[in-house]
Chains A and B, each alone.
Chain A
Amino acid sequence: MPKHTFTVNGEKVTVKAEDSVRLLWVLRDILGITGPKYGCGINVCKACTSHINGKAFNPCAVPVGQIKPGDEITTIEGLAKNGRLHPMQQAWIDHDVAQCGYCQPGQIMAAVALVKRVRKEGRPIRNADLDAIRNICRCGTYDRIRDAIKDGAKRMS
Chain B
Amino acid sequence: MAESNEGHAEGLALDRRRFVGYVVAAPTLAVAARVVVADPASAAPIATPDGFAEFMDLGELQNLAAAPTANKITIRVNRDGTVSFALPRSENGQGIVTSTAMIIAEEMDIPVKRVKVTLADARPELIWNQLTGGSNTTRSTYTPIRTAAAVAKKRLREAAARELGVDEASLRTVDGAVVSDDGRSLDYGALTEAAAARETTAVEVELKPRAAFQVIGKGHKRTDAKAAVTGKKKYAMDLKVKGAKPTMVCRPPTINGKVRKVLNRAQVLEMPGVTHVVTISTGVAVRARTFGQCIDAVRALKVDWGPGPLDGLSDGDILAELKAAEVPLAVPPLLGKAVDGQFTFWFAGNSALETNCAIADVRADRAEIWGPLKVPIAAKTLIAQKLKLPEKAVKVHVIPGGGSFGRKLFHDAAMEAAEASQKMGKPVKLMWHRADDVRQGRVHPMSTGRVRAIVLGNQVTSFEQRHTSVATDFSHGFGEIITAFAGSLPVGDLGFSQTIFALSQSVHYNFGVTTQLLNEVDGRFNTGAMRNIYSPNTAQAREVMVDKIAATMKKDPYAFRREFVRTPQSRAVLDKVATVGKWGRAMPAGMGQGLAIHNEYGAFTACLVEIDCRPKTVGRKVRDAVTGPRVTKVVIAVDIGLPINPAGLRAQMLSGAMDGIAMTLTSSLHLRNGYFLEASWDNYAYTRQWNTPPTFQAIIMPATSDVPGGAGELAVAPVAAAVATAYARATGTMPTHFPINHKNPLHFKPKPTVPPVPQSPVNGLDLAR
Contacts from A to B (Cβ < 8 Å): 1, 17-18, 20-26, 28-30, 32, 34-45, 47, 52-53, 55-63, 66, 75-77, 79-80, 85, 89, 92-93, 96-105, 108, 113, 117, 127, 130-146
B764 at the interface (CB under 8 A from A): yes
A93: contacting residue among B226, B272, B295, B433, CB under 8 A: B226
Partner of B768 from the list A21, A55, A127, A143 (CB cut-off 8 Å) is A55
| B388 interface contact, C-beta 8 A | no
Asked if B765 contacts A57 (CB within 8 A), the reply is: yes
Q: A36 vs B230: C-alpha distance in the bound complex, in angstroms?
A: 11
Which chain A residues border B289 with CB–CB below 8 Å? 29-30
Say whether A75 contacts B272, CB under 8 Å: no
Report the separation of the CA atoms of residues A29 and B295 in the bound assembly, to the nearest whole angstrom: 14
CB distance B658 to A96 under 8 Å? no
Extra contacts, 18 of them, besides A20-B292, A143-B696 (Cβ < 8 A), are A18-B272, A30-B290, A39-B434, A42-B758, A60-B761, A61-B767, A66-B765, A85-B230, A98-B224, A99-B95, A99-B222, A99-B403, A100-B354, A101-B228, A127-B694, A132-B689, A133-B689, A139-B655
**A77 contacts B291, CB within 8 Å?**
no
Minimal beta-carbon separation of B285 from chain A (angstroms):
17
The verdict on A98 contacting B681 (CB below 8 Å), with A130-B689, A139-B93, A142-B689 known, is no
Q: How far is the CB of A129 from chain B (nearest CB, A)?
A: 10
- In whole angstroms, what is the CA distance A136 to B289 when docked? 28
Of B231-239, B468-476, B499-507, B555-563, the segment with at least 4 beta carbons within 8 Å of chain A is B231-239
Return chain B residues, CB-CB under 8 Å to A37: 235, 353-354, 402
Q: Does B48 contact A (CB under 8 A)?
A: no
Determine if A89 and B237 form an interchain contact, defined as CB atoms under 8 angstroms apart: no
With A45-B353, A59-B764, A142-B692 in contact, is A99–B93 under 8 Å at CB? yes
A-B pairs with beta carbons under 8 Å apart, 9 shown: A25-B246, A43-B760, A44-B680, A61-B762, A100-B402, A102-B403, A137-B353, A138-B405, A145-B689
Contact of B655 among A42, A96, A99 (CB under 8 A): A99
Cross-chain contact A18 with B273 (CB below 8 angstroms): yes
> Distance (Å) between the CB of B687 and the closest chain A CB?
6
B residues near A38, Cβ cutoff 8 Å: 237, 291, 355, 431
Closest-CB distance, B250 to chain A (whole angstroms): 15
Contact B246 A29 (CB under 8 A): yes
Whether B765 pairs with A142 at a CB distance below 8 angstroms is no
In the bound complex, what is the Cα–Cα distance between A97 and B83 (angstroms)? Answer: 26
* Chain B residues with CB under 8 A of A76: 229-231
Closest to B680 in A: A40
> Does the CB pair A99–B292 fall under 8 Å?
no
Contact of B760 among A55, A61, A145 (CB under 8 A): A61
**Nearest CB to that of B272 among chain A residues?**
A18
Q: Which of A22, A37, A101, A134 has the most CB of B within 10 A?
A: A101
Which residue of B has the minimal Cβ distance to A100?
Answer: B93
What 5 A-B pairs come out closest when comparing CB atoms?
A: A35-B231, A140-B658, A100-B93, A102-B402, A61-B764
Give the distance in Å from the alpha carbon of A45 to the alpha carbon of B689 in the complex: 12
- Given known A38-B237, A52-B765, contact A140–B230 (CB-CB < 8 A): no
- A131-B238 in contact (CB<8A): no
User: Given known contacts A41-B433, A127-B694, A132-B690, is B295 in contact with A17 (CB within 8 Å)?
Assistant: no
Q: Is residue B221 within 8 Å, beta carbon to beta carbon, of the partner chain?
A: yes
Residues of B within 8 A of A93 (CB): 221, 225-226, 229
Q: A136 and B681: CB pair below 8 A?
A: yes
Give the residue among A35, A63, A127, A131 with the most B Cβ atoms within 10 A: A131
Query: Out of A36, A47, A108, which one reaches B353, CB within 8 Å?
Result: A47
The reply to whether B768 and A89 contact each other, CB–CB distance below 8 Å, is: no
Shortest CB–CB separation between residue A106 and chain B, in angstroms?
10
Q: Choose one: B222, B402, B622, B655; the contact of A132 (CB below 8 Å).
A: B622
Q: Which B residue's beta carbon lies closest to that of A137?
A: B353
Contacts of B654 in A (CB 8 A): 140-144
Q: A132 to B686: give the CA distance in the assembly, Å.
A: 15
Q: Is B172 an interface residue (CB 8 A)?
A: no
Query: How far is it, in angstroms, between the C-alpha of A140 and the C-alpha of B692 when the chains are bound?
Result: 9
CA separation between A34 and B291, bound complex, in Å?
13
Chain B residues closer than 8 Å to A66, beta-carbon distance:
762, 765
Q: Which residues of chain A are within 8 angstroms of B291 by Cβ–Cβ distance?
A: 25, 28-29, 38
Q: Say how far B313's CB is from chain A's closest CB, in angstroms.
A: 27
CA distance A60 to B680 in the complex (A): 14
* B144 close to A (CB within 8 Å): no
User: Is A131's CB under 8 angstroms from B690's CB?
Assistant: yes
Contact A138–B764 (Cβ < 8 Å): no
Bound form: Cα–Cα A52–B764 in Å: 10
Query: For B694, what are the chain A residues with a Cβ–Cβ distance below 8 Å?
Result: 127
Closest residue of B by beta carbon distance from A140: B658
Q: B651 interface residue, CB < 8 Å from A?
A: yes
Measured between alpha carbons, how far is A79 from B226 in the docked complex, in Å?
13
Picked from A20, A101, A142, the residue with its CB within 8 Å of the CB of B402 is: A101
Q: How many angstroms from the CA of A26 to the CA of B246 in the assembled complex? A: 12
Interchain CB contact under 8 A, B403 and A134: no
The answer to whether the Cβ of B240 comes within 8 Å of any Cβ in the partner chain is yes
* Set B656, B689, B767: member contacting A43, Cβ < 8 A: B767
Out of B232, B273, B434, B657, name the residue touching A40 (CB < 8 Å).
Answer: B434
Closest-by-CB residue of B relative to A145 is B689
Q: Does B688 interact with chain A (Cβ within 8 Å)?
A: yes
